[in-house]
Structure 1
Amino acid sequence: MANNTAAGKKATDESSTQPVTTGAEAVVAALDTVGVEHIFGVQGGAIMPVYDALYDADIQHITMGHEQGASHAADAYGVVSGEPGVCLATSGPGATNLVTGLADANMDSDPMVALTGQVSTALLGNDAFQEADTTGITMPVTKTNYLQSDPDTVGATVGEAFALAREGRPGPTLVDLPKDVTNSQTTETPSEPELPDSFDVPDAADGDDVAAAAAAFANAERPVILSGGGVIKGEAWDELRRVALEYGVPVVTTMPGIGSFPEDHPLAMEVAGMHGTGYANLALQLCDVMLAVGTRFDDRLTGGVETFAPDAEIIHVDIDPAEISKIIPADYPLVGDASTVLTQLFDAIPRAPDAAAWREQCQQWKDEYSMEYSIPDDALLKPQFVVEAMDELTPDDTIVTTGVGQHQMWAMQYWTYRHPRTWVSSHGLGTMGYGLPAAIGARVAAEDDRSVVCFDGDGSFLMSLQELAVAARENLDITVIVLNNAAVGMVRQWQDAFFEGRRMASEYQWVPQFDTIAEGFGAKGFRLETYDEVDETLQAAYDYDGPSVVDAHIDPEEDVYPMVPSGGDNAKFAMNQAQLDEL
Structure 2
Amino acid sequence: MSEHAPPTQESEASTGKSTPTQVTDGSTAIVRALENAGVEHAFGVQGGAIMPVYDALWDSEITHITMAHEQGASHAADAYGVVSGTPGVCLATSGPGATNLVTGIADASMDSDAMIALTGQVPSHMVGSDAFQETDTTGVTAPITKHNYFASDSDTVGKTVGEAFALSETGRPGPTLVDLPKDVSFGETDRDPGEPTPPPGSTPTPAADSAAVDAAVAAIERAERPLCLFGGGVIKAEACEAARTFIHEYDIPAVTTMPGIGTVPEDDELCLSWAGMHGTGYANMAITHTDCLIAVGTRFDDRLTGGIETFAPEAEVIHIDIDPAEISKNIHADYPLIGDAATVLEQVHDAIETPPATREWVEQCSAWKDDYPMDYQTPEDEPLRPEFVVEAFDEATGDDTIVTTGVGQHQMWASQYWTYKEPRTWVSSHGLGTMGYGLPAAIGARFAADDSQDVICFDGDGSFLMTMQELSVAVRENLDITVAILNNEYIGMVRQWQDAFFEGRHMASEYNWMPEFDKMAEAFGAKGWRVDDYDEVADAIEGALEYDGPSVIDFHIDPRANVYPMVPSGGANGKFALTEEQL
TM-score, length basis structure 2? 0.97
Residue 284 of structure 2 corresponds to 281
Residue 300 of structure 2 corresponds to 297
Residue 30 of structure 1 corresponds to 33
**Matches of 2:437 and 2:200 in 1, distance apart?**
35
Q: Would you say 1:432 and 2:435 are equivalent positions?
A: yes
Q: CA deviation at 1:447?
A: 4.0
Q: Would you say 1:136 and 2:148 are equivalent positions?
A: no
**AA matched with 1:402:** T
Task: State the Cα deviation string for residues 261-301 of structure 1 (Å, max 9, x = none).
Answer: 00001111001000000100010011000000000000000
**Matches of 1:444 and 1:456 in 2, distance apart?**
19
How do 1:390-409 and structure 2 match up within 5 A?
390-409=393-412
Q: CA deviation at 1:6?
A: 6.8
**AA matched with 2:186:** N
**Matches of 2:127 and 2:217 in 1, distance apart?**
56
Is the alpha carbon distance of 1:268 and 1:557 closer, same or farther for their aligned partners in structure 2, counting shifts above 3 Å?
same
| Cα root mean square deviation, aligned | 1.1
How do 1:24-63 and structure 2 match up within 5 A?
24-63=27-66
**Matches of 1:4 and 1:567 in 2, distance apart?**
64
Q: CA deviation at 1:4?
A: 11
The partner residue of 2:109 within 106, 113, 122 is 106
Contact 1:4 1:25 (8 Å CA) reproduced = no
Q: Would you say 1:233 and 2:236 are equivalent positions?
A: yes
How do 1:76-475 and structure 2 match up within 5 A?
76-475=79-478
Q: CA deviation at 1:215?
A: 1.5
Q: CA deviation at 1:469?
A: 0.2
Contact 2:295 2:319 (8 Å CA) reproduced = yes
- Structure 2 unaligned blocks of 5 or more: 1-14
* SS across alignment from 2:117: strand
Contact 1:73 1:442 (8 Å CA) reproduced = yes
**Matches of 1:434 and 1:460 in 2, distance apart?**
8
Q: Would you say 1:7 and 2:10 are equivalent positions?
A: no
* SS across alignment from 2:466: coil
**Matches of 1:73 and 1:218 in 2, distance apart?**
44
**AA matched with 2:534:** Y
Task: State the Cα deviation string for residues 100-144 of structure 1 (Å, max 9, x = none).
Answer: 000000000000000000000010000000000000000000000
Is the alpha carbon distance of 1:470 and 1:271 closer, same or farther for their aligned partners in structure 2, counting shifts above 3 Å?
same
Is the alpha carbon distance of 1:192 and 1:311 closer, same or farther for their aligned partners in structure 2, counting shifts above 3 Å?
same
**AA matched with 2:501:** F
Contact 2:21 2:60 (8 Å CA) reproduced = no
Task: State the Cα deviation string for residues 476-513 of structure 1 (Å, max 9, x = none).
Answer: 00000000000000000000000010110001232100
Residue 497 of structure 1 corresponds to 500
Contact 2:170 2:202 (8 Å CA) reproduced = no
Q: CA deviation at 1:5?
A: 6.9
Task: State the Cα deviation string for residues 306-347 of structure 1 (Å, max 9, x = none).
Answer: 111111000000000000110100011000000000000000
Contact 1:454 1:479 (8 Å CA) reproduced = yes
**Matches of 2:374 and 2:97 in 1, distance apart?**
44
Task: State the Cα deviation string for residues 503-558 of structure 1 (Å, max 9, x = none).
Answer: 10001232100000001111100111100001111110111100000000000000
**AA matched with 1:24:** S
Contact 2:276 2:306 (8 Å CA) reproduced = yes
Task: State the Cα deviation string for residues 391-423 of structure 1 (Å, max 9, x = none).
Answer: 000000100000000000000000000000000
Contact 2:92 2:120 (8 Å CA) reproduced = yes
Residue 16 of structure 1 corresponds to none
Q: CA deviation at 1:9?
A: 6.6
Q: CA deviation at 1:576?
A: 1.1
**Matches of 2:93 and 2:104 in 1, distance apart?**
15
* SS across alignment from 1:301: helix
**Matches of 1:532 and 1:330 in 2, distance apart?**
51
* SS across alignment from 1:571: helix
Residue 513 of structure 1 corresponds to 516
- Structure 1 unaligned blocks of 5 or more: 11-19
Contact 1:5 1:55 (8 Å CA) reproduced = no
Contact 2:170 2:203 (8 Å CA) reproduced = no
The partner residue of 2:576 within 573, 577, 581 is 573
Contact 2:21 2:59 (8 Å CA) reproduced = no
Is the alpha carbon distance of 1:50 and 1:5 closer, same or farther for their aligned partners in structure 2, counting shifts above 3 Å?
farther
* SS across alignment from 1:329: coil
Q: CA deviation at 1:202?
A: 2.4
Residue 10 of structure 2 corresponds to none
Comparing 409-418 with 191-200, which one deviates more in the overlay?
Answer: 191-200
| Moved >4 Å (runs of 4+) | 3-6
Q: CA deviation at 1:578?
A: 1.9
Task: State the Cα deviation string for residues 404-443 of structure 1 (Å, max 9, x = none).
Answer: 0000000000000000000000000000000000000000
Task: State the Cα deviation string for residues 52-104 of structure 1 (Å, max 9, x = none).
Answer: 00001100000000000000000000000010000000000000000000000
* SS across alignment from 2:395: helix
**Matches of 2:21 and 2:180 in 1, distance apart?**
23
**Matches of 1:9 and 1:521 in 2, distance apart?**
35
* SS across alignment from 2:562: coil
* SS across alignment from 2:575: coil
**Matches of 1:146 and 1:407 in 2, distance apart?**
37
**Matches of 1:91 and 1:377 in 2, distance apart?**
54
**Matches of 1:557 and 1:64 in 2, distance apart?**
35
**Matches of 2:153 and 2:467 in 1, distance apart?**
36
Q: CA deviation at 1:8?
A: 4.7
Q: Would you say 1:70 and 2:73 are equivalent positions?
A: yes
**Matches of 2:364 and 2:471 in 1, distance apart?**
47
**AA matched with 1:233:** K
* SS across alignment from 1:340: helix
Contact 1:6 1:55 (8 Å CA) reproduced = no
Aligned residues: 569
Is the alpha carbon distance of 1:193 and 1:534 closer, same or farther for their aligned partners in structure 2, counting shifts above 3 Å?
same
**AA matched with 2:552:** V
